[in-house]
Copies of this chain bind each other. A is one copy, B any other.
């Protein structure tokens, strides 16, 4: 579709040299490039120059699209959390069975996370940097909702007897949330070829049944 547009533009006007990509597309493309670098090296370790080079422009030119490096980070992080929370909410809304809810949370998380590798790396690597800034206050808010969702489902599962009664819900939440985030942070190259499905299934099996035969 992008091509369609550019062909059309080129056809009529006949003077446009750099056709395609209107403003918001260009912007999205830059966020994408930045995100890839953030995922690879972390937010702080990635320089504005790195991003500009990846885009084939000079670093100063980035400031036509964003007013700061942090606003790129903001865009990535808030999009991620919106997506995560939407998944959690619909997972909880979809069923009354805590085990199914958790299974759904895991599945939705996995899908969401694979779309937001950069955001996760940023949270893991540079949490102390972001969480200290008022601008990123929504990070804490969102994390609280995530925790609440898990704990609620685990507690309900304990009450209905689906989960072991001796589980410490908050402890298990912390472990599970972080466990869930692990595969996302694996570099593509190092994954030895596991598909997302394989990883999710392995993870679910591990969570519910352990490794014992």
CB nearest neighbor in B for A177: B182
Query: In the bound complex, do residue A175 and residue B203 qualify as a contact, i.e. CB atoms below 8 Å apart?
Result: yes
B-chain residues with CB within 8 Å of residue A164 when the two chains form the complex: 211-213
A170: interface (CB < 8 Å)? yes
Q: Determine which residue in A163, A199, A212 has the highest number of CB atoms from chain B within 10 A of its CB, and name it.
A: A212
Interface residue tally for chain A (C-beta within 8 Å): 42
Given known contacts A45-B128, A126-B45, A129-B45, is B212 in contact with A211 (CB within 8 Å)? no
Given known contacts A125-B125, A171-B194, A179-B175, is B213 in contact with A163 (CB within 8 Å)? yes
Given known contacts A128-B41, A179-B182, is B202 in contact with A210 (CB within 8 Å)? no
B-chain residues with CB within 8 Å of residue A128 when the two chains form the complex: 40-42, 45
A7: interface (CB < 8 Å)? no
Q: For the complex, what is the distance from the CA of A154 to the CA of B138, rounded to whole Å?
A: 42
B-chain residues with CB within 8 Å of residue A172 when the two chains form the complex: 202, 206, 211
Q: What 1/0 mask marks residues of chain A from 186 to 208 whose CB sits below 8 Å from any chain B CB?
A: 10000010100011001100111
Q: For the complex, what is the distance from the CA of A150 to the CA of B14, rounded to whole Å?
A: 62
B-chain residues with CB within 8 Å of residue A170 when the two chains form the complex: 192
Q: What 1/0 mask marks residues of chain A from 154 to 179 whose CB sits below 8 Å from any chain B CB?
A: 00000001111101101110110011
Partner of A198, one of B42, B171, B211: B171
Q: What 1/0 mask marks residues of chain A from 82 to 108 whose CB sits below 8 Å from any chain B CB?
A: 000000000000000001000000000
Partner of A207, one of B126, B174, B194, B211: B211
Q: Which of A105-124 contact B (CB under 8 A)?
A: 124
Given known contacts A175-B179, A210-B207, A210-B210, is B168 in contact with A198 (CB within 8 Å)? yes
